[in-house]
Amino acid sequence: MNKYNLKFKTYLNDLGAKKPSPGGGSAVCLSVCLGINLIKKAIVYSMDKKPVSEKVLKQLADMHLRAYDGIDLDAELFARVMRTSGKERTKALGECEKLITDIARISISANNTALKLENKIKKCIISDLFIGRDFLRLALKGCVMNLEANSRMFNKENRNLKKIRDALTKWERC
In the chain, the domains with their CATH numbers are 20-173 (1.20.120.680)
Contact 110, 60 (CB under 8 A): yes
pLDDT tens digits for 114-169?
Answer: 999 999 999 999 999 999 999 999 999 999 999 998 888 878 788 889 999 999 99
H or E segment to which residue 172 belongs:
helix 161-173
Q: Is 155 left (phi over 0), alpha (psi -120 to 50) or beta?
A: left
Contact 105, 79 (CB under 8 A): no
What is the predicted pLDDT for the residue at 34? 98
What is the predicted pLDDT for the residue at 133? 97
What is the predicted pLDDT for the residue at 6? 72
Mean per-residue pLDDT for 25-42? Answer: 97
pLDDT tens digits for 73-99?
Answer: 998 998 898 899 999 988 998 999 999
Mean per-residue pLDDT for 21-49? Answer: 92
pLDDT tens digits for 8-33?
Answer: 888 889 889 987 778 899 999 999 99
Q: How far apart are CA 98 and CA 148, in angstroms?
A: 14
What is the predicted pLDDT for the residue at 82? 85
Contact 132, 114 (CB under 8 A): yes
Structure-model confidence comparison of residues 68 and 3, the more confident one: 68
What is the predicted pLDDT for the residue at 48? 67
Contact 38, 129 (CB under 8 A): yes
What is the predicted pLDDT for the residue at 28? 97
Q: What pTM was estimated for this model as a whole?
A: 0.91
Contact 29, 67 (CB under 8 A): yes
For 115, phi then psi, to 5°, come to: -60, -40
Q: Exposed e or buried b for every residue in 98-121, given b needs 16+ CB within 10 A?
A: ebbbbbbbbbbebbebbeebeeeb
Q: How far apart are CA 9 and CA 7, in angstroms?
A: 6
